Amino acid sequence: MAHFGFPIETIIIFFAAIGLSVFMDLFAHRKTTEITVRDASLWSVFWIGLALTFYGYLWIRFDKQWADLYLAGVALEKSLSVDNLIVFMAIFASFGIKNALQHRILYWGIIGALIFRAVFVAAGTGLFLLAPWVGFIFAAIVAWSGWKMLKSGGDDEEIIDYSEHWSVRMTEKIMPIFPRLHAERFFVTRAIVQDLAKSDPTIKMAKDAAVFATPAFLCLMAIESSDVMFAFDSVPAVIAVTQEPLLVYAAMIFAVLGLRSLYFVLAAMTKYLVHLEKAVIALLFFIAFKLTMQSGEHVFGWDFLHISPNVSLLVVLGTLASGVIASFIWPASAREE
């Protein structure tokens, strides 16, 4: 099978669509004080529609096989994102971050995700192409992620206080912290702190600091660091579907860009999609198996089982659909305490 490569036309269309869409999203929410489930749902439909439009472009302009690889990657990344969004909920709860500020923090978190994923995708696909045996390591990473989710899935775990997260402690060592939220700012100047201290004598800050980070910035650091760890797990999973760097990156970015809207929908729907995590776990083990087979074919010449792109797409979409359908057919059994 020939490589997809980096068609200039595709790169221009991809980044133009991403840039315009991000601008539209930011412009639409520039004065928003509350993100409603309806608004988040409509934007989720928009992002999914945009991803499917790019799928149609790949199919018409190139070949259905490339389009299917991309779509399987989008569906896989989207499903893996659910677990990450649940972590985001815990992080926001730890810092007392509410609605509109959550959207602002997620916006900058997504910008960071675009950069981190570009680095991870370039490194991951490069390693896989240069040394096919690296696929065994990727398979182990994916399988370990599934095993961790399987072990924790049935427990009523205590809520983690992310205000003590390592990224937060590191930030506190680097710069002074203003211990309260102020509007939607990540930083406040010394002048602002002095004005606030006049009405609240309990506020005592370092005298030699010109700028202070607020809890909103600490929350952003926790979000970014958790997303890096999430990318470390998810990039090998998507690479299992296709090793084409542009398709992997496009799949991940189209999935990630809809995370902010999906977050607010998921916050309202998470108690209903009770079997979706089981579907994601099953997918992770399937992906680990697929990676092992692919690497074995390249390294040892295994030819007894080849999982085609069409099969991968059907397995990914079918497994996710099964998790959603099962959640609505058997909701009570998963909610028993």
Q: Is residue 29 pLDDT above 60, yes or no?
A: no
- 210, 104, 264, 149: CA torsion to nearest 10: -60
Identify the pLDDT of residue 59.
92
Average pLDDT, the chain: 75
For 90-154, the three-class secondary structure string (H helix, E strand, C coil) is HHHHHHCCCHHHHHHHHHHHHHHHHHHHHHHHHHHHHHHHHCCCHHHHHHHHHHHHHHHHHHHCC
The mean per-residue pLDDT over the stretch 206-221 comes to 80
Residue 238, helix vs strand vs coil: helix
The mean per-residue pLDDT over the stretch 20-26 comes to 73
The pairing of strands 187-189 and 211-213 is antiparallel
CA distances from 111 to 80, 89, 201, 254 (A): 19, 19, 37, 13
Strand partners, 212: 188
Task: For residue 85, count other CB atoms closer than 10 A to its CB.
Answer: 19
Taken in order 86, 140, 318, 13, the sign of the CA dihedral is positive
Give the pLDDT band of residue 56 (cuts 50, 70, 90).
Answer: very high
Higher pLDDT, 259 or 147: 147
Structure tokens, 252: 């991940």
Identify the pLDDT of residue 158.
45
Residue of 264, 218, 252, 247 lying closest to 38 (CA atoms): 264
Structure tokens, 30: 């520039």
The mean per-residue pLDDT over the stretch 123-134 comes to 72
Percent with pLDDT over 70 in the chain: 75
Task: For residue 286, count other CB atoms closer than 10 A to its CB.
Answer: 20
Q: What is the pTM of this model?
A: 0.69
Q: Give the separation between CA 327 and CA 305, rounded to whole angstroms.
A: 32
Question: What is the tens place of the pLDDT at every residue in 236-284?
Answer: 777 777 778 888 888 888 887 777 777 766 665 665 666 767 777 787 7
Identify the pLDDT of residue 53.
92
